[in-house]
Structures are given as structure tokens and as C-alpha cells.
Amino acid sequence: MQISSRRLLDRSFTAAGFASIALMGTALIVLLFPIIGRGIGAFVFRGTVEHRRLQLEQFAHGDPESVEFEVSEALAARRPVYDMVDTFKNELESGGFALRRKYADRVAELEDRLRDLFGPAPGDPRPILLRDQYGQVRWDRAEVKLRDLLTVESYDYSNPNEMGQKVLTPRSEGFAGTSLAQLFPYVEEHVDEMLRPRWTFYWRFLTNGSLDAHFFGGIWPELLGTLYLTIGAILFAVPLGVISAIYLVEYARADSRLVTVIRSCISTLAGVPSIVFGLFGLAFFINTLHVSPSKSVLAGSLTLGILVLPLVIRSSEEAIRSVPQTFREAALALGATRWRAIVAVILPAALPGILTGIVISMGRAAGETAPIIFTAAVSVGRPLSLWDTASQPTPALPWNIYNLCSEHEAVDEIRHVQFGMVFTLVMLVLLLNGVAIFLRARIGKKLRN
Amino acid sequence: MTMGDRGASVRREKNVLQTLLGKEGRKRHNHPSKNGNSIMRTDTMVPSASEPAANEVCDCTERSAHISADGFSVFYGDHEAVRSVTLSIPPGKVTAIIGPSGCGKSTLLRAMNRMNDLIPRTRVTGKLFYCDQNIYGPACDPVELRRRVGMVFQKPNPFPKSIYRNIAWAPKINGYRGDLDELVERSLRQAALWDEVKDKLDKSAFALSGGQQQRLCIARAVALQPDVLLMDEPCSALDPVATARIEELIHELKTQYTVVIVTHNMQQAGRVSDLTAFMYLGELVEVNETRTIFTKPGDKRTQDYITGRFG
């Protein structure tokens, strides 16, 4: 081959490799950027006085005195708004029927918008749902609600050839010429005093339970459920996996048919779709073995354990196989029994590889959704005690991420919770990988000197 | 696999082994090499495994052979790597096995403490004795055997542990009850390594140079106080200076141990060994005193090899 064409081939190969790496990096950035950017919004946001009141009343966090003072200040700032509405309603009562007919619906709608923004009006009966008992806790949501208060959304169907066009008109137009017209500029001007937004670092998002199906509060039950499921899966998969790997490498005869069959079974198991594992878990662990009356963390852990077992076996097998034969010979030549040699020499040398496999399996188990749908996950639940894991189902991050965006009744209201969950899950997996790298480096260093 | 009689003799062999290797029975023996021409191809010298053995510690000086092979062959699958070798290795001497690559010398050496068990599809025929114990007999426990017949490998293979633990590990797992610190020091002194490492016993063994690592491996083998030390080309991965030190060490070791060394290097065999065995294509061609082998070889093939005509 000509040297020039050889060089061309070399260069194009390098370019192709570089391009694919760049593509992967871009994909990673494109993926991680919104997850991190929007996920942080669940933790760091401008919290309103309602957020602090909620934290105090529902979770007993915060300083009661200062919160109560803030609440009374905010209520005082809102007072004129409700006064204006009451005055106007009195005017309607005393005015004629035509007046009432013209404005009654508009006032009712206005009052609803005010409830959305500030929570129940003074004198209202206590709402049944928790979500109605508080105003907007986050300033970004409050701004949306404020816009809804100040403007009326309607659709213009005048052109039959086009879809209806959204038209926003100021709500004040509907009250033009009445005493209520002044309410809108007043609210717009004084909304800061009414809600008192302040930058908040809500780290308790991780440790608070969820209230009223994630309308308020944090994701502790989901996080705890994911940890239970992951750790449970590892507890089942690692002893079995490492022992199988030791058998396959150290004891089984490499050329026997049995081992070949076992190996291909493991490969097949690794390729089975995870939803099938979920159905298997339901059919086998719950319906056949009755490990629990219904879905439970135990059944989910077992299913996830089976799912990651091939991964653990494969990585442990590779790690044990890559221990130099000379270590084995040295140990045996010193009068060690086979088992001693494995425990004292081979496993320690293989440990970095085995650990890496375990941690990667943990990441896999933490993120799997399909196997736990049938065996462990529910949409809403309490944080479980360790004892309850044998019989109770649990919410878990991957399932609830899906559940929030697909089945939740008011997903638009709580996007931040969903992003917070995604962020937490990604961080959890990244953390696990970080731990794997750290352990590997540390043990490797220890072995070298 | 085993050629020895099974059945009734097994129980007897077990008794012998217990006496041989049991705790009270573990006695070091000094073997004065009073036997001038102790290497001989002898069948009569080797007691049969089924023969009633004396109920005492094996006294190899009387038998004149510490390890002996009797029509011993090793097969890897269908390939016969060692062909019906008959050989006696006398106590307290250095015996070198030389021969071209692939002649079966390492295989023979590794058979002496059953390291070939690690290689799949290996089988043996004939007999191989350690003292009067059939190494491949049913009563022989390879773990016990390897305690008495230590081995040093071609490449230095210390464990990824500290220097101290490299040496202390084997005695500890074998139930050594004495003072470990003292044992470590004694072993390192025997391997002429103590002065170099006494200040860094808790450092990783991998921090040592290749020659030091190999001496550490010798110290590790010596720490078990074996009877026989097998060395499989111990210097082939070392530079000349380290090689010289190991050779010196072998000279000192033979006062306490029976040494069997496999080497490619004929000068080395000439320098360190008392007796030399030449193997070719799996066969034992000739054994004799080293000086005789190198000056008046009895076989044409030996002569060709040592004069460099092949190999």
C-alpha cells in the first residue's frame, strides 16, 4: 500500500474515532444540562411565605416566631385585596339584577384566581385537600398564577381557516369603571409584600415526605425505597454472583459442557428485557413463592437481584480470571488449601474488579423501572421501616418519575418535583460510580505499594 | 492416576503419612551427604508404597534418595511431556536439571510437589516418591506435601502484601505457633535479604527490585522450613548481578535443604549444582556428578547439548 493512502486511512480512522467520542460527549452534555439545571430548581428556588408556613405547620421546621410574624405581615398586605372584593360584592348586592348578572361570574372567577395565588381567603371554610390550604410556595409558580390573575385567556376563532388563536386580555378590562378595577394594579404592585419571596435552599427536599401526592414536601419515601431496593438487590446478587464466579473460574473444568451451558445461560439472562424480569418476579416470587402477600420491597429486591446477577457474575469472573496464575501457584506451593488461596490471595487481588462490577450493578438496579412496576413500586406511600420492607410496597424514584409525568392529575403544577427526582436519581448513580472509581484507585494503590 | 495399591494399603499409608507429617513428626533432619555417588538409577532403593513402613520419621539419609522417580511419566492430554523417568535425588545436595526448551524438565520439577494438578487434563503414570511416600498415591495430601517440598518460580511472584506478611502468611495458615517476627527475620537472613529490607518490612513487596523479590520468594519458601526446595529457572528473569546473588544463596541453602534446580543456563548448572541431570524430549538422558557431565558426558546427545550443537 502506498504510504500516502496508508496515512489517509490512519487519519480518517482517527477522525472517525474522535467524532464518535465528541458525539457521545455532546449527548452527555445535552442530557445532563437540563437535568442539572432544572433539577437544582427543586432544591434552590425563591420560596414564598407560604413555603415557610407549610414547613412550620406540616414538618415543624423553622422558627415559629419569625414565621408567624411574616405570615401576619403577609396577611396584612393581602387584607386590602379582600376588602376591595368584599366592597365590590356589597355593591353588587345593593345594585340591580343586571349588575349582578354581569359581574357575578367574573367575581367568582377572580376569587378562584386569588385562592390559587394566596390560598383560602380569610373567612373561607378550611379546604379538604391540603393543596388548597396553602397559596403558592414557589415564586416561579406564583408568577404563573399572578399572570392568570391579571389576564384572561381566551381563544379567537374568527378565522375559520386557522386553529383558534390564544388571546390574553387584561382581567381589569372586565371590571372597567368599577371600584374593583384598582385591585389589579394594587396586586401587581404589592405582590412581593403579600408573598415575601426569598431565595431558599430547600435541602429537606431529600428528607421530607411528600404531601398530597407530591404537591408539597420532598421525596424521602422515593429515595428510601430506591435505596432499599438497590441494597436489597445487591445483598441477593453479590454473594450468589461472586460464589458462582469463583466456581466457574476456580473449580469448574473450563472445557466441560456444563460450564459452556452455564456460560451461555448467563449471557442469555443478561440479554433478557427487564420487563420480562418484572413479570417473572410477579409470577415467581409473589404468586408462586408468596414471599409477600402482594408487592413488596423484598419481592422487588429479589427481582432486581436476579436482573443484576449476570452482571455481577460476569464482572467477578473477569476480575478473578485476570488475577495472575502466579499468585495461585505461589499460594498453593506454600501449602495453602485451594479455599485459603482463594480467600487470602485471589479474592483480594480481584477485589477492585469485583467492586467495580458491584457498584455498576447498583447503578443499574437503582435505575431500573420495569422490574419494580409489578413487584415493588407504588405511586404514593410512606417511608418504610426496615421491618416493613418484607411485606410493604414502596414508592421508588424511577417509577415515580414515570408516574408523575404520565399519571399525575396536575403534572404542570409539580414539574419541579419531577426534575428534582430525576436529578436525585442521576446524582445517586453518579455518586455510586464515583465511589467505584475511588475504591478502585484506593485498593489499586494499596496493592501497588 | 495412582499406580500404588489401593485398599488396605491406603490405611497404612495414611498412618505413615500422619507419622511422617504429623505435628510431633515434624522434625528437621540434617542430612550429611556421606554417600559419594548417591545418584544412581536404582529400582531397588525405592521402597514400594505398600511395603510396611517403619513407624518413625522418614530418615532419608538411609535411603540415599530424598525424591525419586520410578518409570514416571506425565501426560498433558495425549502429549507425553515426561517419558518414564527414573531418577533419585539425594538429600543435602543441589541437583540441576538441564535440557533444551520443552524437554519436560519443568514438568518433572512441578510434579515433585504436584503443581501440575493446576493444569487441566494432566495425568501421570509410574511412581514418584518423596521419602517413601508416593506423591501421586491416594493417601498423599498435596497440601501437606507442598509444605515439605517448597517451590520458587521462574518469575518472582510475591503476593500484593507487605514484605512481612508475604513471609508470615504461609506459616500462619499452616498453624505455626512460634514467634512470627523471629521466623520472618530468620527466613530473610537465610535468603540474604534481611539487611536490605529490615527497615521496610511493612512496605509492599512490589516496591522491591526483581532480584530482591526473588530472594523474598525464596525466604517465603524457606519460612515453612521445608525439606526440599524446588527452583524453576529462578534466575531467568534477573540480571547478572541478581543472578550471582541467588547462586551464592543456593550454595548456602544446600547446607540445610535439598535443592532441585531447573535451568537453561549451563554455566549456572556448572556453578551451583553437585549433580546434573540432562533431559531431552521428555527423556532423562543422563545423570551424573556435575563435573563428570560437563567434562566426560556419557551420551552423545549430552555432549552435543553442552557444547552448544543444539538446544
Q: Min CA distance, A251 vs chain B (Å)?
A: 10
Say which residue the cell 474488579 belongs to: A353
Classify B58 in phi/psi space as left (phi over 0), alpha (psi -120 to 50) or beta. Answer: beta
Specify the pLDDT at position A177: 84
Chain A CB contacts of B21 below 8 Å: none
Nearest residue to A235 via CA among A302, A319, A292: A302
Axis crossing angle, helix A97-118 with helix A139-150, rounded to the nearest 10 = 170
Q: How far is B42 from chain A (nearest CA, A)?
A: 29
Q: Which three cell numbers stand for residue B256?
A: 540445610
- Round to whole Å and give the CA distance between A112 and A100: 18
Which residues numbered 23-82 in A keep a CB inside 8 Å of some CB on B? none
On whether any CB of chain A is under 8 Å from the CB of B74, the answer is no
DSSP assignment string, B74-133: EEETTEEEEEEEEEEE-TTSEEEEE-STTSSHHHHHHHTTTGGGGSTTEEEEEEEEETTE
CA–CA distance from A286 to each of A268, A294, A390, B15, B296 (Å)? 24, 6, 12, 56, 83
pLDDT reported for residue B48: 37
- pLDDT digit string, tens, across residues A175-206: 888 888 899 999 999 999 999 999 999 999 99
pLDDT tens string B7-61:
444 444 444 344 334 333 333 444 433 333 333 333 333 333 333 333 333 444 4
What does each C-alpha distance from B222 to A334, B149, B162, B247, B250 come to in angstroms? 10, 10, 17, 16, 12
Determine the residue type at B115.
M
A348 touches B at CB < 8 Å: yes
Say which of A334, A340, A448 has its CB closest to residue B204. A448
The nearest CA of chain B is from the CA of A321 a distance in Å of 14
Q: Which residues of chain A neighbour B221 with C-beta distances below 8 Å?
A: 333-334
Mean pLDDT value of segment A204-230: 92
pLDDT of residue B65: 60
Q: Which residues, 6 or more positions from B59, have their beta carbon under 8 angstroms from its beta carbon?
A: B29
Query: Which residues, numbered 255 to 284 in chain A, qualify as contacts with chain B under a Cβ-Cβ cut-off of 8 Å?
Result: 255
Query: Which of B120, B159, B203 lies at the smallest CB-CB distance from A255?
Result: B120
**For chain A, percent of residues with pLDDT exceeding 90:** 67
Residue A435: per-residue pLDDT: 85
Write out chain B residues lying below 8 Å of A254, CB-based. Answer: 120
Neighbour-count burial of B90, counting CB atoms closer than 10 A to its CB (0-12 exposed, 13-18 middle, 19+ buried): buried
Q: Is A445 on the interface with B (CB under 8 A)?
A: no
pLDDT at A383 over 80: yes
CB contact under 8 Å between A326 and B113, yes or no, is no
Instruction: Decide if A145 contacts A128 (C-beta within 8 A).
Output: no
pLDDT at A444: 73
> Measured between alpha carbons, how far is residue A256 from residues A250, A253, A262, B76, B77 in Å?
13, 6, 10, 17, 14
Rounded Cα gap, residues B41 and B47, in angstroms: 14
Q: Report d(CA B64, CA B47) in Å as an integer.
A: 12
Type of residue at A313: I
Contact call for residues B72 and B85 (beta carbons, < 8 A): yes
Q: What is the mean pLDDT of each run of 10 residues along chain B (311 residues)?
A: 41 40 39 36 36 38 68 92 92 91 91 88 90 87 90 91 92 88 92 90 90 92 91 88 89 89 90 93 92 90 85 55
Which residues, including other chains, have CB under 8 Å from residue A69's CB and lie 6 or more apart? none
Q: Which of residues 284-303 of B touch A (CB under 8 A)?
A: none
Q: Which of A253, A325, A334 to probe the B interface (max B CBs under 10 A)?
A: A334
Tens digit of each residue's pLDDT (9 = 90 or more) over A13-44: 999 999 999 999 999 999 999 899 999 999 99
Instruction: List CB contacts (< 8 A) between A330 and chain B.
Output: 153, 157-159, 217, 220
Give B299 to chain A, closest Cα distance, Å.
Answer: 35
Distance of CA A335 to the CA centre of its chain: 54
CA neighbor of A392 nearest in space, from A326, A319, A320, A298:
A298
**Closest approach of B145 to chain A, Cα-based (Å):** 7
Among B110, B161, B203, B236, pick the best mutation site for testing chain A contact (most A Cβ within 10 A). Answer: B161
B207 touching chain A per CB within 8 A: yes
Across the interface, whether the CB atoms of A448 and B221 are under 8 A apart is answered no
Task: Output the CA torsion sign for B193, B199, B204, B206.
Answer: negative
Among candidates B7, B15, B18, B26, which has minimal Cα distance to B52? B15
Best CA proximity match to B279, nearest among B113, B119, B114, B84: B84
Cβ-contact A227, A141 below 8 angstroms: no
Averaged pLDDT score across all residues of chain A: 91
What pLDDT score was predicted for residue B137?
87
Contacts of B173 in chain A (CB under 8 A): 335-336, 340, 344
Q: Which residues of B touch A255 (CB under 8 A)?
A: 120-121
Confirm or reject contact between B176 and chain A (CB < 8 A): no
- The DSSP symbol for B311 reads -
User: Closest approach of chain A CAs to the CA of B297, in angstroms?
Assistant: 34
> How far off is chain B from A448, nearest CA to CA, in Å?
6
Please check whether residue B122 is in contact with residue B110, taking contact to mean a CB–CB distance below 8 angstroms: no
Average pLDDT over residues A267-281: 93
DSSP per position, B157-207: ---SSBHHHHHHHHHHHTT--S-HHHHHHHHHHHTT-HHHHTT-TTSBGGG
How far is residue B179's CA from residue A444's CA, in Å, rounded to a whole number?
31
Q: Which own/partner contact pairs does B182-188 have at CB distance under 8 Å and 24+ positions apart?
A: B183/B223, B184/B223, B187/B219, B187/B220, B187/B222, B187/B223, B188/B216, B188/B219
| Helices A220-246 and A297-321, axial angle in degrees (round to 10) | 40
Cβ within 8 Å of A, B 81-110: none
- Grid-cell match 410574624, residue found: A69
pLDDT digits (tens, 9 = 90+) for A305-362: 999 999 999 999 999 999 988 899 999 999 898 899 999 899 988 988 898 899 889 9
Q: Under 8 Å CB-to-CB from B37, ≥6 apart: which residues? A: B289
Question: Which residues 6+ apart lie within 8 Å of A61 measured at CB?
Answer: A55, A204
Contacts A335 to B, Cβ<8 Å:
143-144, 146-147, 170, 173-174, 224
CB nearest to B207's CB, from A345, A348, A449: A449
Q: Among all residues of chain A, which has the CA nearest to that of B171?
A: A334
Return d(Cα A394, Cα A226) in angstroms, integer.
8
The answer to whether residue A337 neighbours chain B at the CB level (below 8 Å) is: yes
pLDDT of residue B265: 85
CB contact under 8 A, B146 and A448: no
**ipTM score of complex:** 0.76
Q: Do B146 and A333 touch (CB under 8 A)?
A: yes
Q: What is the DSSP letter of B51?
A: S
> Strand pairing of B67-76 and B122-130?
antiparallel
